[in-house]
Amino acid sequence: MDVSGQKDTVARLLGYLESDPANVALLRDCAAAAMAAGDVATADDCYTRLERAAGLSDVESSAAGLAAMRNGRQARAIALFAALADTHSDDIAVRFNLAWSLALDRQFERAAALLDEATVAALPQAAMLDLQLAHERGDFDGAAEKLLPYLTAHGDYAPLQAAASVLAMDLDDEVLARQAAIAGGEHPDALTTLGTLLLGDGDSETAHSLLDRALAQNDRSPRAWIGLGLANLSLGATDEALRQIDHGAELFEDHLGSWIAAGWAHLIAGNREGAAARFEKAMALDDSFAECHGSLATIQVLAGEIEAAERSIAVAFRLDRQCFSAAFARVLVAAAQGDGEQAGRILDRALDQPLDDQGRTLRQLLGRLAR
């Protein structure tokens, strides 16, 4: 039966349950039909009522856990899978589902502890989750060690390739990121990674298409929103670009680079006040991040505040000798010779013009900051 037929079945069974709300057979059938139809809220409700009326078999407990997890009730999912794990300690599917529900509840350490060698060897989705948990916890060395072995074991699993592409970007391995993103196919994370890389290549039109497809599948991806905004900025759709980049930064919340990327987007669009506000937001989150100081230095140069800019540049370089925004601000100081209007004209040409001895462009800076 197709999904439409399953939905009709659910509607019919719910009608029967209105007349006989504690009918165990009806609750069991309705829960199963709702799961098949993708109606997790109804399935979750029916399994909860079934548990009260007659208890749940192990198979029903597992299905009830999945329904609760997909319905956003992680505490119930954890309780159901934990009870199953107590009596089925060798069941790798139960271990994975418990780990997944714990991860969704942001109990990352507990989740990772369940993903032993046997589980990640048997289930590609467990290998993917283990990689994501290491990444989420900031264990980049641990994640990097697992990356290639997991790809070797489960290379045909597109979601793992997509997760690997995201990690590879944060590891600054653009070759692996591109390979994994291509292997990840239409997975939204893979599309986002490839779109971000194409932005750095200067192919904004193709990047826009990929990022738009990514957001059609997952409209809560901050990286995709910022990437789409940067693509639109390059394509001249400035107002739309600024809304998208700001939305991505808000989804990221405390991600420094996204606020700095948003600030630069506003600066390129001529909104210095908006740019300064976003740079200051990043500074308030972490004033030890060099790009905060380098970005504010650019604002100061544009305002003709050369001495203040030079102090900010010095701070940025003390924090990071490779700070791109500080290098750009220094170029502005030298080229504009204290003339804020001349600095503004240089900024207008900066998106694709090499600005330091490594040949980096402002477009590349924005793409890197927004990762």
Residues 120-160 pLDDT 10s: 999 999 999 999 999 999 899 999 999 999 999 999 999 99
End-to-end CA distance of the chain: 42
Quote the DSSP letter at residue 304: T
Contacts with 297 (C-beta within 8 Å, 6 or more apart), sequence order: 308, 309, 310, 312, 313, 316, 325, 326, 329
Quote the DSSP letter at residue 359: -
The residue ranking higher by pLDDT, 342 or 148, is: 148
The structural domains of the chain, ordered by start, are 254-371 (1.25.40)
pTM of the complete model beyond 0.95: no
- pLDDT at site 343: 57
Residues 244-263 pLDDT 10s: 999 999 998 888 888 998 99
Identify the weakest region by mean pLDDT among 93-107, 286-300, 302-316, 351-365: 351-365
Sorting pLDDT into bands at 50, 70 and 90, what band is 4? confident
Sorting pLDDT into bands at 50, 70 and 90, what band is 339? low
Give the Å distances, CA to CA, from 329 to 261, 271, 273, 292, 300: 15, 17, 17, 12, 9
Residues 103-124 pLDDT 10s: 999 999 999 999 999 999 999 9
Q: Do 246 and 262 touch, CB atoms closer than 8 A? A: yes
* Sign of the CA dihedral running 124, 125, 129, 131: positive
Identity of the residue numbered 51: E
Torsion, Cα of 191, 192, 196, 197 (10° steps): -40
E strand intervals along 75-222: none
Rounded-to-integer distance, Cα 22 and Cα 30, Å: 12
Identity of the residue numbered 24: V
Residues 260-293 pLDDT 10s: 989 988 988 889 899 999 999 999 999 999 999 9
Q: Do 248 and 254 touch, CB atoms closer than 8 A? A: no
Identify the weakest region by mean pLDDT among 172-186, 214-228, 332-346: 332-346
- pLDDT at site 252: 87
Rounded-to-integer distance, Cα 43 and Cα 288, Å: 49
Residues 211-221 pLDDT 10s: 999 999 999 99
- pLDDT at site 91: 95
Residue 357: how many other CB atoms lie within 10 Å: 7
- pLDDT at site 267: 87
Measured CA angle at 212 (ends 211, 216), to 5 deg: 115
Taking residues 337-350, report their average pLDDT. Answer: 59
Torsion, Cα of 140, 142, 145, 151 (10° steps): -80
Identify the weakest region by mean pLDDT among 175-179, 213-217, 334-338: 334-338
Give the Å distances, CA to CA, from 256 to 284, 295, 312, 344: 10, 12, 18, 25
